[in-house]
Amino acid sequence: MNRLGTGRLAAAVVLGFLALAGHAAGAEPAKRVFFVEPKDGAEVVSPVKVVMGVEGMTIKPSGGVVAGTGHHHVLINKGPMRRGKVIPTDRVHVHFGKGQTEATLKLAPGEYTLTMQFADGLHRSYGKELAHTIQLKVLPGK
C-alpha cells in the first residue's frame, strides 16, 4: 500500500521566453521572403499548399502604402518583377492582399517555376531582393 516517494514530479512548466530580441536589439534584420512550403524541387500533387515566409518586413493588407510593409504574391512560371512595377492581377499573378501567408494553388500536372514576390500596398513590386523562385513538379493526382 505504500506509495511513498514514488518520485512523481509535479508537472514541470517550462516557460518559453519569446525571443523578440531581433527587433529590439537594433540590428537591422535581413529582408527576405521565402517559400516555407513547398521546397525547391519538390514533387507534389494539386492542390498545392503554399506557405509564405517573410523576414525584415511586416505583412499588411493591400491599401495604403506604409514603409516596411507589404503583401505576398505568387507568380506562376515567372521570375521576379522589377522594383516599382505594379503586379498585374490574372491567373498567373496571384495576390494575397488580405495579408495571407498560406494558400492552396490548383495546378495541372507539369513542371513549374513559382516566384514569391513581395509588394507594397499598391501592389508595386519590391524587386528581386524580396522575391524567391523555386522549381516545382506537379504530379498527376490519384
Stretch near Cu ion under the rule CB under 5 A, chosen from 3-11, 33-41, 48-56, 97-105: 97-105
Q: In whole angstroms, how close is the CB of 35 to Cu ion at the nearest point? A: 17
123 versus 132: smaller Cβ distance to Cu ion = 123
Phi, psi of 24 (to 5 degrees): -85, -25
If binding is defined by CB under 5 A, does position 95 make contact with Cu ion? yes
Q: In whole angstroms, how close is the CB of 95 to Cu ion at the nearest point? A: 4
Q: In whole angstroms, how close is the CB of 115 to Cu ion at the nearest point? A: 14
Q: In whole angstroms, how close is the CB of 77 to Cu ion at the nearest point? A: 18
| Euclidean distance between CA atoms 69 and 90, whole angstroms | 23
Query: What's the length of the chain?
Result: 142
48 versus 119: smaller Cβ distance to Cu ion = 119
By 3-state DSSP, what share of the chain in percent is helix, strand and coil, each rounded to 5?
Answer: 5, 40, 55
- Give the chain's end-to-end CA distance (angstroms, integer): 59
If binding is defined by CB under 5 A, does position 85 make contact with Cu ion? no
Q: In whole angstroms, how close is the CB of 140 to Cu ion at the nearest point? A: 31
How many residues bind Cu ion (CB under 5 A)? The answer is: 3
46 versus 100: smaller Cβ distance to Cu ion = 100
| DSSP code string of 28-61 | -PPPEEEEEESPTTEEEESSEEEEEEEESSEE--
If binding is defined by CB under 5 A, does position 123 make contact with Cu ion? yes
| Euclidean distance between CA atoms 83 and 87, whole angstroms | 10
Query: Given the rule CB under 5 A, which residues bind Cu ion?
Result: 95, 97, 123
